[in-house]
Structures are given as C-alpha cells and as structure tokens.
A and B are shown apart, each in its own frame.
Chain A
Amino acid sequence: MIEAIRTQAHNLLENKEIDVVIGYGNGSDPTRTTPVFIRKPEEVNRLIFDPRCINSLPVYLNKRQGYPKKGWKRVGIIGKGCDIRAITQLIAENQLSRDEVYIFGVPCDGVVSHFSKWDGSLRDDNRATKCSECDVHIPNDCDFFPGERPEVDRSGPYKVSAPQVLNLFNLKTDKRFKFWEKEFERCFKCYACREVCPHCSCNICITDRTTPNWIDQAPHTKGVFGWHLTRALHLVGRCTGCGECTRACPVDIQVDLFNQRMKDVVQGSFGYKSGYSETEKPPLITYMTDDSENFIQ
C-alpha cells in the first residue's frame, strides 16, 4: 500500500504538481512516528503508514500555524479517513481551498491510542476510542487511493460517543462538576490542546485577548474552566473528533469528552455531522424557516 503512495508522491513531486508531501516517518524511538515534510522526490521512501501514525496532519494546513508555506501551490498530504474529515471541515470554513491540497487517502484499521501502548499489534485495549466508532476506515474524499476504493455508505449518523461520555452525562450536575474540578486541577494551561487542533484557526485566540480579558490567564479553577468551556463551545458543530487534544495533553485530561458530547448534541438536535460536506452550513450560523420550533418566525 505505502509503495503505491510513494510511487505516486515521487511522480507528482518530480513533475512539480505538488510542492511537498506531508506524511508520517519513523520517529526517534521504534514506538514512535513523526510527521515528515518530503520536498525532494528521492526522499519519498521515508514515508510510512501503520497504526502508530496517530498524528492528525491537517493541523499543518492551518493558516495560524503558518501553513501552507509561502510558495507552496499545492500540498500533498497523507490522510486517514478522520484526517480527511478535518480537511473537509477546513475547506467548509474557507481556511483552505480544495485545489490547494492533494489528498493521498489511506485505508486505516485504526490507530493506537497512545505511542506508549504500541507493542506491535493493534487490539481492543490499545486502539484509540475514535477508531471503534469510525465510519471512514475507507476515506470518503481523496485524490489518490492505493488500489480500488470501495464505496461505503456514510449517510447514517455518527456512532454514539464513547461510553465514558454517557456515563459522565448521566451523573448529577454537582458530581459532574466535581469530576471536572478534579481533572482541571492538573491543567496548567499549556494550550497544547489548542495548538494541536486543526480547527483552532484564529490569529489571536480569545484566551489571549486582553481588551477585554475574557478568560483569566491564570490556571486556577475560574481560568481553567473559562478556557475549556470556551474551547468546547467554539468547536460546536466544527470538531471532527480526531481526539488530538486529549492525546496532546501532557497531564492526561480527557478534554475531548466535551467535544464528543457537543457532537452528539449537534447531531441529535440538528442532524448535522461536521467534516462530511464542504458546502453544508453548520447549524449554529443558519436557521430554517420550516424549523419544528416556530419561535424563529
């Protein structure tokens, strides 16, 4: 599989159809992979793909991160189904245009939840939670796919969120608050969750704004709650569920539980799934005149 992608990447780089391929390469120790930027055709053999390739690469298509770099006309990117959802969402939000990217789709059986859990085989106990509910093992939109791409029906709803979300939601409000209070005690506001998110694309994040100072910078209860709740609300109807925020968290707070919950709410209330259409408008900025609630009239 990876051979076909290498050949195609080699051809495209040689013909200057794309300026760079963003993919995965071997990391510094055998359990890890690392994002690689291949600019020369002879380097394509560095590209690999296996269940260790957890990183969501579309973050390198985010303007806030300074990508695509100046002079890059078209960027090749290796995308798992979930990454391609993120790319689609970026296009829907006008952060990227479709002809700026060349997507190498890869079939994916799931990735490990964390590098440290990789021992050579992918099992239920080390597979990332997002993979068990995945309907894009075969990507839904790509420019190149190794071999024949089978048609998959993706019209159905997302699968329900991880059981943990529901367990948490079934708790009484004060218990749930206690849970988060305890979790957030560890947060020291490194903003890794923001930096790794493909959809955090503001030049100046609301938490960095000082006129007015909407969110307290200090990592105390108020500041931490302020940040995480704002982040969750800013991603309503936009989060494509790559789970990178939780993985990047150095103190292991499961911040994507918020996002998963909001994803369920958005889908339940408005029937909207983010990352599946480049043209459909997210529910929070539109209204329908035939809405079942008639207050809008």
Chain B
Amino acid sequence: MFIEIGHFAVILALVLSVVGIVSPVLGLKTNRPDWVRIGRQAVTLNFFLVSIGMAAMIYSFLTNDYSVRYVAATSNSKLPIFYKVAGLWGGHEGSLLLWVWILTAYSTLVVWMHWRTQPVTMPYLVSVQSLIMFGFLAMIVFLSNPFERIFPVPLDGKDLNPLLQDPAMVVHPPMLYLGYVGFSIPFAFAMAALFSGRLGEEWIKVTQRWTLFAWMALTTGILMGGYWAYYELGWGGYWGWDPVENASFMPWLVGTAFLHSVMVQEKRKMFKVWNLFLIIVTFSLSLIGTFLVRSGVLSSVHSFATDPGRGLYILVFLSVMLALGFGTLIVRSGKLKSQIELDSIISKESAFLFNNLFFLVAAATVFLVTLYPLLIETLKTAKVSVGPPYYNAVFMPVALGLLLMMGIGPSIAWRKASTDNLKKNFLLPTLIAVIATVAAWLIGIRTVFGMAGALTVSFVASTIFIDFAKISALWARRHEINYLLAFYQAFTNNQRRYAGIVTHIGVLVMVVGIIASTVYQVEKVVPMRIGDTMQLKEYTIRMVGLHEVSGANWTAQEGLFEVYKGEELLTVLRPQKRLYPVSQTPTTEAALYTIHLGHVFLTMPEVGSDSVTVRGLINPLILLVWIGGGIMALGVILNIFRPRMKTP
C-alpha cells in the first residue's frame, strides 16, 4: 500500500515538474506574479512528494517487502538494517530516486532562501531546476521504476551486492550526488542570468557558497569512494582510473577551475562569458557522468545493468540539456562585453587563466581517455585499453604543473606584479625548493616522480608559509599583539582568502600521501601455511592460524597473522575471505595496521585447504591522502562560514 502511495507521489511530482517549467515563464511573459509563485510552490511540493516516495521505498526495505522488485533485487532479510536503508541506492532505479530527491531538496532550499533577494532570476531558476527534475522523474516513472511490484513474490531478496555492504559505500553515493546535483544550482543561476540578461557579478556572488558546498561534497564523495576501493577491492590502491571514477573526476576538475576563475570576475569584472561557460561545462559533465554509469556505454566496475533504451533516453535528455546550456550561452553571450583591464601578463589575473588552462587540459585528458576506447571501437572496430601506466606518464606531469600554479597564483599581485613583488614572494621559495630537491636526491629519492614532487611540494609549502608569516608579522606590528593572535585576526579578517589557502594545504598533504604511498609502496604476494613468515621491509609477518568465522549474512575464512617489528609483536591482523551465501559472492576483506600514518595491509586473495595466498603491502603515509582530504573540506567549511570582512 505504502509503495503505491509513494509511486503515486512520484507520478504527481512528474506532473508538477511540468507546471514548474511552464508557469514561471508564462507568469513573467504575461506579467502575472501569481503564476510565478505557483512555480515556487510546485518545486516545494515536489520536495515533499519525492520525500514520500523515498519514505515508501525505505519503508519497504525495512519491512522486507519483496513484492517490490527493486527491494527483492537489492536487499535480503538477513541484511543488517544499516545496509537495508543503503540498499535504496545500491542499484540503478533507487539511486536515481535519491538523485532527484537531492535535486528537489536543493531547489526548495534555494527558492526559499533567495526568493526575496533575487526576484528577477528566480522564475528562470525554477524553470531550469524543474526541467532537470522532469528529465529524471520521467526516467523514473517510465523507464526505471523502483516502485514496480513483482509476482510471484519471492521468499527472500537477492541481497545487496556484498561489495557495497560497507560503511563507506553507505555514504559515498549520497555524497557524490550532493556534489553532482549541487552544481545544478550555480548552473541554474547562470542560465537564469543568461535568460534575464542580468549578467553582472550577482549570480556569482549568490551561488558562491552553494558551489563551494557542492565542491566539498563531491571531493568528499570521491575520496570516500577511494577509501572504499582501498580496503574493499583488496588490491591496496585507492584510484584505478576506472571510467566511473573518471566520470566523477571530470566535473571536479572543471568545477575547481570555475571556483577559481569566478574570483577574477568578482574582483575585476573580467571573464564573464568564460565563467558561464565553465559552470555549464561542469554541470554537463555531472550529467555525462550519470549517463556513462547508467547507459552501459563503457564497461566498468560500477556499471548498473545496461539497457540501450534507457541509454537512449538519457542521451536525448543530455542532448536537450547541452543544447539548452550551450545554445543559450552562444545566443546570449554576444551581448556580453567584459571590461578588459589588464596591466601586465605577470599578474594574478593571468595566473588564474593559466590555472584554468591546466585544469581544463587535465579534464580534457581524462575526457579523451575515457572515451578513447569508444572512439577506437567506432572508427576501427578494434578494442584498446587505457589504464594506470598511461595516466602515470601523461596525467601526472599536468597535475604537477597544476600544483606549481598553486604556489604561484595566491602570492602573485593583482593587476601587475612588480619585480619587487616577485622577488619578495618567490625568491625564497625557489631557493627552498631547489635545496629540498637536492636534499631529496641525497637521502636517496631517485625517481622522477619523487623528485618532482619534492620540488613542487616544497615550493608551494614555502610560499604558503611565507604568506602566513608575513601577514601575522604585519598584524602583530600594527596592533601590537603576539603572533598567534595576529595570525588569528589576520586569518579571520580575510577568511575567504585564507580558508582557500587551508584547502591548498590539504591538497599538499594529500599529494605527499599520494607520492609516498605510490613510490615507496612495498608489495608481496606469497603462498603461506601456518607457521610461515613473510618479510615486508622492517616488518615480519607470521601466519599463526586460519579458522572459520561468520557474520549476520556471511561466512568467512579468517587468517591470523602476527606482525612483528624486530622482536616486538605489534598486532595480530585478521584478513578474511568472505562468502555471502545469498548471492554466492566472495569478497576479500583487508586487515590494516596503522603505523606512522601508513598501513601494513594484508589480504588473502585465495584460500586453499592447507595454504593461503597472502598479499602484503606497506603503504607509507597513505593516511595523508584522506587527512589531506579532510583539511581540504575544512578549508571549504571555513570559507562557507566566514565572518564579514572588517576594516582593519
């Protein structure tokens, strides 16, 4: 019964989304404010309706209602409650519902928060958001209906894919969607700006915090996915350049470019068309990401069931959105003329543009490579793969270039950087970077990747340090206070800028983690019996046992491994080879021991009758990858909740 109510609510939402598209525009054209307001109510009501749909689905999951096809496919009576709820986004139909729900929630928030202050743009925004809603709701209702019943009703569900039965996977998809869908807000504002002709800086100022939030959610979502891959897929890496990973990385790259280049428009009123272009690209890439995952165009670990009909629908919808976005930009941008005021090429304005160039080339590379196999298949009916060895050779240099820009950009002056400014800000960091690189060479870092890393990281780190030191000194002198307080005051006084720097610090920390854990990883795969030992750098690993254990919905072979450093017993690790009987899927559960921000990582890929295969890794400093991610998120939070700028 509940399911039918939910289903009906979602169908109603589809109808209302049409109202949401049409009525505000009609209201504007015919000058009837009531009609515009109807649009707002439609959006708000849609949030409640889709929420009812969500609630009905969750209810069916919790009550094990296997007459619902989707529940029967992604849940099981033995599944822990935690994962039953997560089952909602464990498959194609349900995750689509979550996508729309997040969209309606965002839209409702935006409409109520900005209705008074943005009366001119709001009607267009409502229309655009409703159009996106319509696209996804129509897909849910007609092609991917999670409310569908089956008959005969199965006795039990087929279970959630065991790989997804993991805390990180419970949070990863919602986070990712908060990011993807979050970009629809600046997108809708940009479209509204284009339609209404209000192409000033207003839309950028209004959407700034929304964009930051979406970016943070996307960043967190991607990193969580990485952490999941790290310990759940069992090969000890966190990023495999899988097409679906790439699909989330592309909007991230362009979104990051957008976050940077809007600052130029705010400060100097330049690059107006460029910023509109960037946000349209960012949101389009979010849609393309959704398309790639669901259409079966690319094979990947994450693909949902493939279905050309569904794929065709998404493609049509995608085409409509792309045509709308870029078409409007092309038609409307002729009227736009940025005031171009540039005093010198050596200035912050151009640093921002070069930053954008690097980000876009990075995004274009990922885009090209993700689609390249498809291109080759179409042109030559041959099959190619492009994997990690390629990215290490091509993407990494571009990424290092970006990193270097991160050192230059924040410290270079607006308008025109004098030689004095350059000397003051960059002479010392350059020296430090050179010294650090030589030092790296001397302590035995000989790989190109490692040395280039040492060079760029030390350069950027020292520019940041000098920046902080200078501003603290200035405030300490001026207000006659101690350095710590001065730093705090200086920081809060221009929190927008310094919160950004905090995010940059997070990036640096992450880069150190990435380089250390890739270049200095030690990895061994050996067969072992009880009593055998394996040496991993300074750690001795001794297998002491192998027994059966079981959980709520799985059984496992669990190995016992003592980890020694010299004579000292550090810990006992218990990697498992699990079997989820319902879906007959085996998984490898890694066991981790954290030491000095790194991991001793053990998995048992194969378990025989008397011997097991053990994969042992030392991943030095790998935790820095996620600590860095945390610092990046912290920087964004500080940015979103910044105090108003005071006059010193």
Pairing of A with B:
no
Q: Give the interface of A toward B (CB within 8 A).
A: none
Q: Give the interface of B toward A (CB within 8 A).
A: none
